[in-house]
């Protein structure tokens, strides 16, 4: 059934948003309130809740997948059958990422090394399923999810069955572009059918194209049955020859000529890394028996040996061999007749479609329904074979348009005269901005209009990479007004905390409480409110006279330091050449600024200490403040402490008791530091209150206003 956003299922699972929908179910992003984690929930559609057969299949899907525990398989957490409310659903692992199909479409095609790396992960997941007696039966890139960290997981065991026998016979299922010949022909499938489908997937990874394509589903199925195995090197000449051999062995028409077990395929993929030429595959690739060729001397010798062995065998064995040979010939003859009949059926179907198209052009009100099931009829003396194509759980009857732009979708459906209309836009962490992410499920007819939902971009806002502290700098260029607009548009709850900063402009972001906006934890944004009241911006004194420079520093509550006199041919005597604190830099009041002054082209080098030059100031400039100092190291967390990772905001202040009243003076505004490092607390001249001999320097966690460390300092009048 269709559930609503915000609805809570069984007092535990809160529905957040719809991810996708398929022929049997809806898939939602949800929060497991009991475990505190994000999950995916697949809910059976209401029209199937009364169908016991569909419910049985739905339960079989969950039970099959729940047996599997592997890093390359999407995990199943829970299975719920609420018959009272007529709702049946499966709780699964939520994998943040894109399908392998979308990844291939973005890249065009992969190089050999990347394809092997992904293929080995997929093989690991399929091998785990096969060991548990489960045949997936719908292996394709749409059912593989590539997460943000590069992990590939096999998903959608919606048509998997526990294989209690070596071969399972049931209705033909799976996508026609990846379906094995035995599935298309008779519905039979086993582990080798998954290997064939994986071979088609590997071919697409290496070339960017499906191995067989056609204008209709029947044409594609026919290609799987009869067309030669395509060579990867024809579309990708630079691919490892070993991979071309591996794909060819996977896609053999007869199951007995393929890899018999998926682990054999995995071993060859690993060998291909060390031996890209594929020398280890020589003699192991079945040749195309449909080609006319000259037998080698070795092959002739083998045939003669077989004949000789046959002459000495029992008559019973001869009879059995002859019967097997006759059976093989009859099967091939039957197949040829069958394919001729299918080809004739296709020709008739094309002619009918052309006539129908012309009639539709003449009679605009005529409609021809699109079908998801096609049938190929044979002659009257043969059995009619119907090929049923079941759409995957995350696709619908127009499975090709998800992930396409509106223009691409219109072009894709042009032959059916179906039009795409944008009904609404929504954020999506799976699909890029501007592509189709969903549309109403159902059967559509020629001339229909499909109202779609288009992605507005990612729902989750990423602030920085938690594994790379250098990415924090990008935050400092974000204006809080722009960020608030994005957060409100996505309905993300947040809190703004204003803190002083001497390096980041007012209104710009300093840090955030977590690397992105996802998850149930509240988001806090630390925003700069500019310079602290106890900070000033040091002016550029270059070119000032010595007297003017000293007066300017005094007016800004900055302390003149040593003055160094140096001969200079460009500046006249008495002009400031340089300063110890760069102009434009923020500094705390009471900071010392030393000067370099020109003594003229013929002057001498000398130094006037701060004590000497302070005596030259007017008596009105005398400083009545008392001063102290500190030089220590403060560890910011430790590697062994819980949560000792990421960054923290730290400020430093002076606290003094003046006539029973606590007074604070900021020594350093809030700055971001990496947890686990050591903070150097060095202030050679701290300005305190006149007549107060003691003070406490406090290192503070600016986010929570808690004291990390404190040190008592002595204060005395300036000498």
Burial string for 263-281 (b: 16+ CB within 10 Å, else e) reads: eebbebbebbeeebebeeb
For the chain, helix (H) and strand (E) counts, in that order, are: 15, 34
Q: Which residues contact 678 (CB under 8 A, 6 or more apart)?
A: 633, 634, 635, 636
Give the separation between CA 437 and CA 458, rounded to whole angstroms: 12
- The burial class, CB within 10 Å (0-12 / 13-18 / 19+), for 691 is exposed
Report which of 273, 230, 219, 232 is spatially closest to residue 253, judged by C-alpha positions.
Answer: 230
CA–CA distance, 674 with 668 (Å, rounded to integer): 17
The helix/strand/coil state of 273 is helix
Structure tokens of 533?
Answer: 């009241």
572/492 Cα distance (integer angstroms): 62
Pairing of strands 559-566, 592-598: parallel
Helix pair angle (241-250, 191-207), 10° resolution: 140
Q: What is the dihedral of CA 32, 33, 36, 40, to 10 degrees?
A: 20
What distance in Å separates the CA atoms of residue 686 and residue 688, rounded to the nearest whole number? 6
| Residue of 194, 120, 186, 208 whose CA lies nearest to 163 | 194
118, 146 contact by CB (below 8 A): yes
Tokens representing residue 647 in the block: 């960054």
Q: Residue 480: which H helix or E strand, with range?
A: helix 480-489
Strands (E), 351-448: 373-376, 385-388, 419-426, 436-438
Phi, psi of 341 (to 5 degrees): -65, -40
Catalytic residues: 138
CB 591 within 8 A of CB 671: no
């Amino acid at each position: 059934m269709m559930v609503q956003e915000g609805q809570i299922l069984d007092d535990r699972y809160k529905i957040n948003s719809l991810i996708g929908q398929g022929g049997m179910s809806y898939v939602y992003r949800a929060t497991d309130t009991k475990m505190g984690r994000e999950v995916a929930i697949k809910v059976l559609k209401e029209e199937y809740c009364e169908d016991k057969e569909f419910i049985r299949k739905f339960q079989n899907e969950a039970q099959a997948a729940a047996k599997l525990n592997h890093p390359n398989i999407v995990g199943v957490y829970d299975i719920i059958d609420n018959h009272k409310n007529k709702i049946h659903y499966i709780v699964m692992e939520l994998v943040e990422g894109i399908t392998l199909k979308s990844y291939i479409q973005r890249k065009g095609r992969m190089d050999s090394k990347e394809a092997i790396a992904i293929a080995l992960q997929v093989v690991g997941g399929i091998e785990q399923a096969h060991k548990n007696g489960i045949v997936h039966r719908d292996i394709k890139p749409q059912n593989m999810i590539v997460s943000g960290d590069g992990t590939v997981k096999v998903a959608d065991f919606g048509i998997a069955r526990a294989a209690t026998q070596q071969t399972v016979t049931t209705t033909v299922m799976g996508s026609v572009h990846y379906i094995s010949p035995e599935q298309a022909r008779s519905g039979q499938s086993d582990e080798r059918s998954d290997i064939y489908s994986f071979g088609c997937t590997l071919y697409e990874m290496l070339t960017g194209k499906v191995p067989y394509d056609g204008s209709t589903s029947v044409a594609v199925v026919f290609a799987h049955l009869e067309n030669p195995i395509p060579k990867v090197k024809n579309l990708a000449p630079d691919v490892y020859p070993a991979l071309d051999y591996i794909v060819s062995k996977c896609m053999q028409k007869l199951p007995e000529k393929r890899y018999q077990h998926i682990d054999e395929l995995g071993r060859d993929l690993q060998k291909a890394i060390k031996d890209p030429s594929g020398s280890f595959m020589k003699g192991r690739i079945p040749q195309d028996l449909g080609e006319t060729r000259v037998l080698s001397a070795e092959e002739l010798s083998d045939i003669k040996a077989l004949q000789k062995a046959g002459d000495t065998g029992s008559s019973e064995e001869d009879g059995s061999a002859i019967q097997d040979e006759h059976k093989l010939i009859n099967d091939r003859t039957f197949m040829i007749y069958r394919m001729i009949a299918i080809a004739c059926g296709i020709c008739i179907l094309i002619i009918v479609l052309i006539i129908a198209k012309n009639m539709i052009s003449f009679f605009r009100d005529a409609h021809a329904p699109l079908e998801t099931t096609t049938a190929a009829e044979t002659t009257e003396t043969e059995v009619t074979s119907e090929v049923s194509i079941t759409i995957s759980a995350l696709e619908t009857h127009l499975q090709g348009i998800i992930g396409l732009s509106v223009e691409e979708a219109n072009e894709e459906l042009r032959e059916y005269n179906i039009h795409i209309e944008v009904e609404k836009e929504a954020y999506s962490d799976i699909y890029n901005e501007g592509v189709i992410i969903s549309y109403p499920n159902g059967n559509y007819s020629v001339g229909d209009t499909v109202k779609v939902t288009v992605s507005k971009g990612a729902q989750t806002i990423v602030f920085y990479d938690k594994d790379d502290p250098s990415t924090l700098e990008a935050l400092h260029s974000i204006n809080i007004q722009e960020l608030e607009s994005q957060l409100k548009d996505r309905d993300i709850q947040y809190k703004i905390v204003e803190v002083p900063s001497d390096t980041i402009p007012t209104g710009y972001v300093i840090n955030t409480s977590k690397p992105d906006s996802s998850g149930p934890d509240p988001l806090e944004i630390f925003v700069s409110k500019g310079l602290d009241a106890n900070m000033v911006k040091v002016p550029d004194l270059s070119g000032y006279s010595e007297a003017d420079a000293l007066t300017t520093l005094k007016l800004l509550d900055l302390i003149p330091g040593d003055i160094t006199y140096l001969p200079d041919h460009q500046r006249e005597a008495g002009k400031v050449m340089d300063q110890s604190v760069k102009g434009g830099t923020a500094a705390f009041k009471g900071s010392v600024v030393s000067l370099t002054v020109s003594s003229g082209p013929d002057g001498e080098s000398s130094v006037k200490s701060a004590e000497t030059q302070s005596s030259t100031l007017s008596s009105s400039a005398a400083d009545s403040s008392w001063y102290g100092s500190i030089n220590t190291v403060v560890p910011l967390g430790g590697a062994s402490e819980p949560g000792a990772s990421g960054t923290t905001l730290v400020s430093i202040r002076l606290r003094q008791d003046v006539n029973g009243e606590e007074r604070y003076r900021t020594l350093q505004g809030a700055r971001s530091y990496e947890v686990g490092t050591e903070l150097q607390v060095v202030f050679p001249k701290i300005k305190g209150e006149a007549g107060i001999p003691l003070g406490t320097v406090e290192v503070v966690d600016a986010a929570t206003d808690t004291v990390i460390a404190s040190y008592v300092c002595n204060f005395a009048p300036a000498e």
